[in-house]
Amino acid sequence: MIDAATFRSTLGRFATGVTVVTARDATGRDHGMTVSAFCSVSLEPPRVLCCVERSADMYPVIAGASQFAVNILTTAQEAISRRFAEERDDRFDGLGYTRGVTGCVLLDDILAYLECSVASRFDGGDHMIVLGDVIAAGAADGRPLLYYRGGYAQMER
């Protein structure tokens, strides 16, 4: 078995998009966190997955939520990614957003969004894998914010 540092360094060579996953807890309070472990799973039905670390403050929220939203960030939203990667109570303060059909937060000026109904949850070691059936989506023009080798990157085209 390989050590954690080698595994992390190797996976760091795989560029990923940066998202903010949002959900509401049982009291209706908004929660969100930066997630790069996100991908599509199926076109029929339209399904995606995201992974949430068990130690994250978002973990109990997503473990009990029936719906969530994925906000795909643009290159101009690195500060938002950093804000939602930190453990803090005021993540949404001062940010513009609307609510989607699920009631989850959709941040302003994002590249794209997907609103999902939780289909399944699976044990993923130190993460929980959450499958979501996409019930609403939208996209805009722009460039994606990427994460590569431990830092933010931009796509050249």
CATH of the domain at 31: 2.30.110.10
The number of beta carbons lying within 10 Å of the beta carbon of residue 60 is 14
Cα angle, residue 21 at apex, residues 15 and 27 outer, rounded to 5°: 165
pTM: 0.94
| Residues 76-122 pLDDT 10s | 999 999 999 998 888 999 999 999 999 999 999 999 999 999 999 99
Task: Read off the amino acid at residue 62.
Answer: I
Mean pLDDT per 10-residue interval, the chain, length 157 residues: 87 88 96 96 97 95 97 97 91 96 98 98 96 98 92 77
Question: Which residue segment(s) compose the domain that 75 sits in?
Answer: 16-145
Number of domains in the chain: 1
Within-domain flag for 6: no
pLDDT for the residue 93: 95
